[in-house]
Amino acid sequence: MMPATSLTLAPTGVGRLHCHHFDAGSCHSCALIETPYRQQVSDKESWCREILAEAAPQLWLPSFVDGMAEFRNRAKLAVGGSAGQVTLGILDQEFHGVDLRDCGIQSEAIRAVTPIIADFLDATGLEPYDVSARRGELKFVHVTAAPSGDLMIRFVVRTQHGLDVLRSHRTALFDAVPTATVVSVNRLPEHKAVLEGSEEEMLRGESLRMNLDRVDLHLRPQSFFQTNTDVAIGLYNQVAAWVDSVAADNLWDLYCGVGGFALYCADSSRHVTGVEVSEQAIESAKISAGELGIDARFLVGDATEFAEEHLGGRAGDPAGLERPDCVIVNPPRRGIGARLSTALEDSDFEHIVYSSCNPVSLAKDLARMPSYTVEQARIFDMFPHTKHLEVAVLLRRRQ
């Protein structure tokens, strides 16, 4: 048995996560793991303040951190090794499998199930995909863990043969992992550096119930959710507190995904509209809203096109939507871009809440909205041991 990744604390209370994979040079995904965690957070704060210097917040709230180990709720495991002896983890520079089933940043539920999944794949006799030779079947396994301990397991294979074999063995997996409430097989026939294809066959269930402190979200196989559940809850609660503080009656949540921000902010007196390009995500958000019995409307559409259609001085509103007094945006790393920034700048919205995973694109977008001042900002350390972070800001239109 491989030695487990261990957590060690310095006498000063400054924690470090010790990883034998990093020490051996076999995995450097956690590039900052040798830096004491408190220093990691301090460095991120300094960098973020520097990037946002031109739009400096009036108040920086204390960074939200939750721990440096067992925080990931989703594992994206490359399959390596050979038939009957698979590895689950990453591929090295020569495309050889590096087994990370004991990875210290994965949640306890994922760490517990990964060896079981490896044994299951060994029993199928399927060959791991050989990147250099472009042959084989098993490419990836994606595992998502809910706070309840329920799991979503997705297998990514190359051909219909791999799908058929996994389908024929599914009962053995269900027996071995009864907490796997959602199981699917994704087919990725192309030889390219992506983690999944467009075809998905469900073997069990449809969506994973992600039970948070106030809201149950429903994640389908290709849904996006923050990789750190506890920090995501902190982010949702902070944004909801900001929305409450500005007494918003009508709220738009653009790039709403499965509805996290909108659902946390909705109440009996507030009208909430969420917009997301993914039809599956919108269906999931509607399920959550129905369970909560709240006034929320979720629409399929591009966030920028939606804003341009309902703003810009156009007469009337084809969807019958009331103009919001607060807008939440939570875009991908590229940010909201020039078109949406311009639409918001030209609007009369009093408040904007912007949640960003890329301070550089955030700074560019803020520069395009000079009519707004940044009242508050807060860093959320979703990704310990890396340079990545989430930062949320509350904007108010200048008087």
**Whole-Å CA distances, 119 to 87, 101, 122, 130:** 10, 12, 5, 19
Tokens standing for 183? 């199981």
> Do 61 and 376 contact (CB within 8 A), yes or no?
yes
Residue 236 CB: number of other CB atoms within 10 A? 23
Active-site residue 357, yes or no?
yes
- What is the DSSP code string of 17-66? EE-HHHHHTS--SSTTTTS-HHHHHHHHHHHHHHHTGGG--SEEPPPB--
What b/e readout covers 191-230, taking b as 16+ CB neighbours within 10 angstroms? Answer: eeeeebbeebeebebebbbbebeebbbbbbbebbbbbbbb
**Whole-Å CA distances, 147 to 56, 143, 174, 230, 264:** 36, 13, 20, 9, 17
Residue tagged 């909560």 (tokens):
292
CA angle in degrees (0–180, nearest 5) for 212-213-214 = 95
**Whole-Å CA distances, 295 to 85, 180, 248, 271:** 52, 32, 14, 6
- What is the DSSP code string of 209-245? EEE-SS-EEEE-TT----SBHHHHHHHHHHHHHHHHH
Q: Reduced to 3 states, what is the DSSP secondary structure of residue 289?
A: helix
Residue tagged 């096109």 (tokens):
305
Phi, psi of 284 (to 5 degrees): -65, -45
User: Which residues face 208 on adjacent strands?
Assistant: 219
> Do 187 and 157 contact (CB within 8 A), yes or no?
yes
Q: Which residues are catalytic?
A: 357
